[in-house]
Amino acid sequence: MDPIAKAAAGTQASQSDWTALKASAGAGELFFEPGAAEKCAKACEDAIAKIEGHLRQVRQLTFVDGFGSPSEGQQLAGKFRAKADEAYSVLLAHQQVLADMRDTYRAAGKAYVDADVGNSSKFGGGG
């Protein structure tokens, strides 16, 4: 399996895992200390921004030409374009996984606070 296809397969698995975790956090079933949750969410945002730069670079790779004779050069350039398009798609999928991770951390941090407030109310702590 080529590296891009392998990365795509791994990304799909990660995406379904994080989608499930995000749903659990949104339902208040996954808790994360708020300060740590925000640090993790920020790390995800930083990674998303880095991937944005890589996406611009990969998009430039789709404009290749000048390889050998006209027909063979066009075929080779087409192969490079196809690989660049695959890489672009994988990077976009990675961004989505990171966005799900970010949202999961924030939802889990909120669930922690909500549970703490709820428990305080139940047990008369009120403050």
pLDDT of residue 81: 86
CA torsion angle 6 9 11 14 (round to 10): -130
CA torsion angle 4 89 104 13 (round to 10): -40
pLDDT of residue 62: 74
Given a cut of 90, whether residue 122 has pLDDT beyond it is no
Given a cut of 80, whether residue 28 has pLDDT beyond it is yes
- Distance between CA atoms of residues 82 and 65, nearest Å: 13
pTM exceeds 0.85 for this model? no
Give 102-115 pLDDT, tens digit per residue.
999 999 999 888 87
Top pLDDT among 117 and 97 is at 97
CA atoms lying within 13 Å on the CB side of residue 28: 6
pLDDT of residue 120: 66
- Distance between CA atoms of residues 124 and 127, nearest Å: 9
